[in-house]
Amino acid sequence: MRPATVARKIAAALDDMKALDVRVIDVRKNTTIADMIIIASGRSDRHLRSLADAAADTGRRCRLRVLGTEGEHTGEWVLVDLGDIIVHLMHPATRAYYQLEKLWSDGGQGRAAARK
């Protein structure tokens, strides 16, 4: 199954779990670390852990291997590495602070422009 198809399935699973503002970003032109990045927010630490479980389970059902998870014990930001797809799950305030959508959507140009 293509990464974009799996990413849509994961995004749908997150949406079913009431994730906030689910975004799927194609990063193939920007990096070689992944093809797709999914960013979503959760209402609480427990909600973030549940969303991470749903993302990992959906990835496994699509025959992806979970290469790792980070942050499930700290709570503010949970990352699920599915190889070609990386899932970032954050509290809304953490997400607003790091602005990953802006970073990945413009290929890092926003960060470079801010330095000039």
92-107 as b/e, with b when 16 or more CB fall inside 10 Å? eebbeeeebbebbbee
Print the domain residue range for 107. 3-115
What are the pLDDT tens digits along the chain (116 aa)? 899 999 999 999 999 999 999 999 999 988 899 999 999 999 999 999 999 999 999 999 999 999 999 998 887 899 999 999 999 999 999 999 999 988 887 654 443 333 33
Tokens of 4: 């974009």
Task: Count other C-beta atoms under 10 Å from residue 44's C-beta.
Answer: 10
Q: Is 9 exposed, middle or buried (0-12, 13-18, 19+ CB in 10 A)?
A: middle
CATH of the domain at 49: 3.30.460.10
Count of domains forming the chain:
1
Instruction: Indicate the pairing of strand 85-90 with strand 36-41.
Output: parallel
